[in-house]
Structure 1
Amino acid sequence: MGHREDLLEGAKKCLVEKGFVRTTARDIVSASGTNLASIGYHYGSKDALLAQAFIGLMEEWGAVFQDGLDGDGGSLERFRALWEGVLAQHEKSGPVWAASLEVALGRDQRPELRSMLAASQAEGRRGLISMLTGTPEDQLDERDVRTLGGFYQALLNGLMIQWLFDPESAATAEEFTEGMRRAAEAMIRP
């Protein structure tokens, strides 16, 4: 690997261990075995590097679930399988979710980082739609991403926040799926 890749891997490690706020450029350099100047050269800034690392972690996280999702696209079985996978990975992904909440709750303390992460939301929404419905990402339009993707993203973020606050009281995949089924039935009832 070159310095660019080493920096990215080091930044991922730091995000998991320390989050956005407590990670320094020196932490990344130490974790990657590179030098301070290489951050600016390859990424422009520490925040830009951390944003890329976060996106990379989310892509890796999503890839874990793609292979295990069989069944009909959009079915309750597929819905439940995804949430079972999410919850099975919560120990590993919890620090990453906590790091993203740091940025969200920090409001204007890190505007560059916040902007970069906000720009990646559409990609994340596309991935969620694809995972939950089986629809290839290239077949989704902007309306799909804004509506269905926004809905799935809200579900995912809500579940992860429940888990971060209190894993014992967070909804199980079975409860989450039953709640979705009941909500859908209530909406289509005459």
Structure 2
Amino acid sequence: MGHRDALLAGARQCLTTKGYARTTARDIVAASGANLGSIGYHFGSKDALMNEALMQATGEWSRELEKALTTDVDPAAGRLDRLAMIWDRIITLIHSHKGLWAAQFEMLTQIHLAPEKYPFATQAQAVARDGLATLLKQVDPSLNRDESTLLARFCLVVMTGLMAQVLTDARSAPSGRELAEAVLLIAEPHLREQQRAAR
């Protein structure tokens, strides 16, 4: 493993064990076995290295999410059951990557103090939204592109709230079925109104 890969591996280890803000360049060097000068040589700064490590870890989580949502899906399942399955699997993955989400929140809480981080955060959001839209269309082929993008944006908002709840009070986090039923409760009055208008 070269210095660049070793630094990324060390930074990722530090993200989950020390957090985003508390990790120092020396922590990364100790975790990676590389030298201090190689951070500047390969990444320009410790922050740039931490951002890349965070993006890499999030990318791996996205691939795990894709596998979780596309494996063993019952094609005969109704939309409510598919939605409940999607959220149950997302919740399981959130629980298994608490350190990653703690680091994400930590970075986001500092963003107003470091405007140079906005492009990174904006890019990460766009990548997450587009990837999730593609994945949701795979899970539910009846969705068109606009619908899958809208659903992805909604899911990202709910996922952010879920991550916060899992980090602070995991026992009171809703189940996938509860989330799916809540979505239906929100949608039902509108659907009834549409049905009345169509008569």
Shorter-chain-normalised TM-score: which range?
0.7 to 0.9
Structure 2 CA distance for partners of 1:178 and 1:111, relative to 1, 3 Å: same
How many residue pairs match? The answer is 186
Preserved CA contact (<8 Å) 2:102 2:167: yes
Q: Normalization by structure 1: what TM-score?
A: 0.85
Corresponding residue SS for 1:20:
coil
Preserved CA contact (<8 Å) 1:75 1:133: no
Q: Which has the larger radius of gyration?
A: 2
Instruction: Determine if the alignment matches structure 1 residue 88 to structure 2 residue 82.
Output: no
Report deviation, 1:104: 1.8
Report deviation, 1:75: 3.6
Letter in 1 for 2:175: T
Write the distance in 2 (CA, Å) between the matches of 1:19 and 1:144.
36
Matches within 5 A, 1:168-183: 168-183=171-186
Which among 129, 139, 158 is matched to residue 155 of structure 1? 158
Kindly provide the CA deviation profile for residues 4-61 of structure 1, in whole angstroms up to 9, marking residues without a partner as x: 1111111111111111110111111111111111111111111111111111111111
Structure 2 CA distance for partners of 1:52 and 1:168, relative to 1, 3 Å: same
Report deviation, 1:66: 1.5
Matches within 5 A, 1:11-160: 11-69=11-69, 70-71=73-74, 75-134=79-138, 147-160=150-163
Which residue of structure 1 lines up, in the alignment, with residue 197 of structure 2?
A: none
Corresponding residue SS for 1:19:
coil
Instruction: Determine if the alignment matches structure 1 residue 187 to structure 2 residue 175.
Output: no
Corresponding residue SS for 2:19:
helix
Calculate the aligned-residue CA RMSD, in Å: 2.6
Query: Which 5+ residue runs of structure 1 have no aligned equivalent?
Result: none
Q: Normalization by structure 2: what TM-score?
A: 0.81
Report deviation, 1:91: 3.5
Letter in 2 for 1:12: R
Query: Which 5+ residue runs of structure 2 have no aligned equivalent?
Result: 194-199
Write the distance in 2 (CA, Å) between the matches of 1:107 and 1:122.
17
Kindly provide the CA deviation profile for residues 139-170 of structure 1, in whole angstroms up to 9, marking residues without a partner as x: x97x6787443222101111111212211111
Could you tell me the percent identity over the aligned residues? 38
